[in-house]
Structure 1
Amino acid sequence: MKIRPYTFRWFIFWLIISSSIITLLISGTIIFLLRQSTFAAENMERARQESKILVRRTEGLLAGIEESIGILTQASLRMDTEDFADLLQAVLPQHESIRVIYFLDGNGQTYAVHAKDHRNPLHEDFIGIDFSYSSLYSALQNSNQSVWSDKFISVLSGDTSVGVGIRMENHTAIAEISLEALLSTVEIAAESSVRLWVVDKRGELIVDTDNEFSTGITNVLGNRAIQQALDSQQLPVTVTVNGKNYYPAADISEKLGWIFMNLIPAGLDNRYIRNTLIDIIFLSISYLVLALLLSPLWSYRLNTQVMHLMQQSQKIAEGHHYTPQKDWMIREFHELSESQKIMADKIFDREKSLIRLNQKLEDRVQERTRALENSNRELQETLENMNRMQEILIQTEKQAALGRLVAGVAHELNTPIGNAIMSISSLKAETHELGREVSSGLRRSTLERFLRYCDEGLDIAERNVSRAAELINSFKHVASDQTSSVRRKFFLDTMIHDVLLTMNPMIRHSRHRMETDLEQEVEMDSYPGSLGQILTNLITNALAHAWDDDDSGSIWIKAGRISEPPGEEIPMVQISVQDNGKGIPAEIRKKIFDPFFTTRLGRGGTGLGLNIAYNSARNILGGTLNCESTEGEGTVFKLKIPVVAPLLQG
């Protein structure tokens, strides 16, 4: 996809804006991260300090309740029951934190109870209740100090409470403090409005300043930070509670037995971090607004300078004289203007040089053109001469082959014709002898001998004349086919047999044996002359090159149909000429089909035999001619042609 280019003015505008945004993002992020790490360290330290202070202050506020219980316990020892009951009714309503207080004798049974329902402390429902089974009562039996309990459900008020007890002279006083009152006490003790947890030894959450509904019903012993605080281990940097992150700090009150955990918001939940981020965003927006207001002015000033440089470049391109501007706002633009002037002067100088050079080149090109035309004309004439010479050599090669064919046939005809003449001469002599016998008196035995002799002589003459006729017929077919490119139908085995018959003299005079394996009744519609010429050239090439002069060997000729390649419906035949001679070296095998290539130069070889065969196979018969050879094992030429030859063009 092609990107649409910006104008320079818009490019500068967006460059300023994008640079400002990237700068603000990077700097704001760095400032925020640095401040966040500082806030984290400060808040963690703050949480630890506030946890210690919270423990001390809470213990101090709850000490007032302990003191009041202690005074009432002493009073219970010195006053009669009625007066003590009146004292409880007069004093305890002033203590909002105490929900219920009951006084136990040495057996752990109540002898006075004050509750918020305004019943008399000596009410019969309160007297004689057994609290000896209470864990707080059991803990007071082994302690000389006040003891605070874990969270429990009060049997008197039904509220979820914590208890504090004091033992004096075998008497025990236990006060129940509601979790709401305990929450108010912890909030008074806290210095800031951070989230505070107070957890008893069983992991029950008894104070949560951020969610009072979770107190008394939530066990946080599974919280990792609480578990680490109980085991006196280092707390994690942050904890997550209800989807919010906090910096935790915990301290254990040895007196109360509770864990006080201070949870200061972390990350964006922290007010200081949130305000810092807001400040950074506000400053970034202010900077962007300022950049948006000033960037059009700066882009306009720069665009004016660039447009002037473009106009000067256009003048240089049009060939006008260049006059540089002097009042540039930017030094680099001034230097660029001076460079344009230098460039313009050099361009004018080079144009003059190019004009002179072009004129010289035109003169030289015309001179070279005339020389090339002369060379091309000479090359064309040479090529035409070579083509004519090649045609002459090809015709000469064909005539030479035909001459060898005539000589061979003449030699072959000599024997049967001589035998026929000899037989006829003998018959003529016998006929003269019979004439003399007739004049002197013919005997039956003489006539029978003459007839028997005539029958034998005529049989010899007939066989030799038939042989001569067969040779003449084969010669006529082969000679006719090889001297004209006539297309006709013929049987493949018959045509090969005729060619071999005409070559018998050449083969018999060699030391080599010829063997054939020809499929019968393969009818062809092709050019027998070209096919016979190819076969003659291949056999002649084998006889001339396959063996050294004193060696002997065999030539095998095979012909027949071959299976059609997949997807092709053209029936094909293959004719192979194989010898067991010395083979052809690889470097020679690459060039055997080249015109005029021969290894018998000066010894009768023209180098056209295999070239003619190769071209005839491709261009006339529509097939291929390949050579396979292994040194020391022999050579095989494979001719593959269609049964029906393609039509020749022209």
Structure 2
Amino acid sequence: MTNSITGPIAPAGDRHAWPLVSYLMGLLCLSTLLAFSIVGLTLLLIRIPQLEADARGRVIQEARSAARSEDLLLHSIEERLEILAATLRAPRPETLAEVLNQAVGDGSTFLSIALLSPEGRVQAVGASTVWRWRQKELLGQDLSLSPLVARVRFQQRLLWDERHPSMMAGERVLALARPLPDGRLLLAEVPTSFLFRSATEYQEPIRGSATSPISLWLLDASGRFMANSERGVVPSEPAYWRETALYQQLRQGLEPPEHMVLQGVSYHVAVAKSQYVDWYVAALTPRGLDNPRVMAWITLVSTGFLGMLLIGVVLSPLWATGLKRALQRIVEQAKQVASGQVLSNWPKGPVREFNSLSEHLESMSASLRERQQHFRAIFDVSPIALAVYDPESDLLIDLNEAACRQFGLVREAVVGQPARLLPIWPEREGRPRRDPRLVQGETVEARLRHADGTELTCRVSVRVLERSGQTWQVWALEDISEAQRHAQELKSLNEALEARVAQRTEALQRANDEASQAIDRLHETRDNLVRSEKMAALGGLVAGVAHELNTPLGNSLMAISTLRDETQQFKDAMAAGLRKSTLEAWIDCVDQATSISARNLKRAADLVTSFKQVAVDQSSAQRRVFVLDELVNEILLTLKPTYSRLPITFEVQVASGLKIDSYPGHLGQVLTNLITNAIVHGLDGLPRGTVRILGAAVDADWVSLQVMDDGHGIAPDLIARVFDPFVTTRMGRGGTGLGLNISYNAATHVLGGRIEVRSELGQGACFSVVFPRLAPARAEVSRDDVQTWD
């Protein structure tokens, strides 16, 4: 082509562009603040919930600790009253007042102590020094109508009353009364100020901390405000108290709230109730933005944010100015090259990227002329038909080789001719159609024609090229006739594939239904195996007990038979004439026979009793209160006939008298399975072995039961799967792999505890079952249901 279609690019307008220094300053400050904001907000999002959770946990702990302290103080007061009651059994009437005064002391613990007659009249009164002048006035006073005195006389046990009308102060105070063996009563009044002050003294260092203040309040059963840790006992509750959520919910008998707003401050709230009296201890600590620790973290992050902003504002101009100078030298050099000058030395500086830019600009200026020379060759070798068109003069400026081949044209014949005369247009149009989408730069499809008359489907796109004030259009004419044919074939193929996929999906659904049915059958089979395992264990237990009963019953039968023979001989001797030696021999025989029969029948009765209790427990899911060591001994007694002939020693160390309210049948089944597992798997094939059973209280609410053996141990690859169903080392030799799975389900789902195992090869195994003394409430279920739980 004879005309060049390249030229200098017009500079873009910079009315909305920023100066480099300002842009770099803003970018540095923004990136610094953004990074610090992300870090600071992340810290706050992580730390603030931690602080809130810590405050919530501490306020719950403080409420419970204060309530326990209250209960301990009340218990100590009960013990002091018990000691006083023991002291008053013998003293003379004239010394009663003196003994009671000594018991009251300075009045810090007891406000007064009165000894009442069986009819409820005051016989003697002990008071503090402040109230001792009223002692004579109170003698003979009738207190039989007092609710506390009436309840104690009726129930005959020590009772508390938190709203007892005081004999001394004339107001309602905390009181307790205890009946004496001779029918009299001890009535003691306790000042509320002592009780609350003593219970909260040890917590002052925690509540006094500036970072985590905690307040303790004492409330009665109706939510009435009585005392707090800041002001102690108050004569009347604050005016704002009845508007609080804590008062409203306690008043209505609802659960206390976890949060509360008090005088514009938000608090975490935790409430604990005393076991002795109908009082509540409430602990409060600020929450949210009212928490000093939360505000300290927010202040710290805010201060860091402002500090980073100040640093960015101070340092960013210095950094940006240095970059601007280096870049300005490169821009000036580029302007000279753009004006047509040929320069070889481009500026270099300390910034590696700017030096690289200089090198690339130098290389670009050198290759620009070479690219201009190569443009024509590139235009011709393009595989897509390209045409350069002048829409103002309707002239075809140039055409590449691909366009000539695609439309069967000769370049020299069409270049410089009006475009409307080209033979590529369909006969029905006769000239190129102006499509507004082409002017906007979109791509359209058009029906064009080869020089031999063959119709072509082309994808046409237009790009506008401005050169020296002229507007040219570069046309790209891509023949897509073959592509459309392939697309139609591909569409047909996709439709066929979709039909096949639908068929395969339907077949897969049927297969899934069959698999679900197989899984249901597998669950049913597993349940049957669990029931078979239970019946096999019960059958072995019955066979063992029956075998063990043979010996004592046989001994008893032999003794009775011998006694019968001796009795017959004694009768014959009496007929011939009774002698003293014959009578003594018969008496000795009777004594021996009855002694042997009694011992053996008692042994048989013990076996039957233990077996009966174990069988009743294991055949039902009933809950009852039982003693742990008695249950363990009953289980071992019923298992002893089964393993009595094996060289195995049982060592039992279970705490005596440990009462548990739970499900003895399920606990017995767990213990039976663990002992059986230790003997069958752990000690199998060993010349001797030991099974140790340890039971003790973990704390006030939890109990631990351990079964240990010194046998083979468990392989490491089985430890993680030992409680899964059908996992056993004796598959095909009588093992089903369900014993430990049943024990796991019973320990976790029924007893409400957990079961763990520790073992090393050759060192034996230890199974630990930890469960609560008071089993969680649940609906009664059968043992089969428990065994099949997953």
- What TM-score do you get using the length of structure 1 for normalisation? 0.48
In our comparison, the structure showing a higher alpha carbon Rg is: 1
> Higher relative contact order at CA 8 Å, sep ≥6: structure 1 or structure 2?
1
- What TM-score do you get using the length of structure 2 for normalisation? 0.40
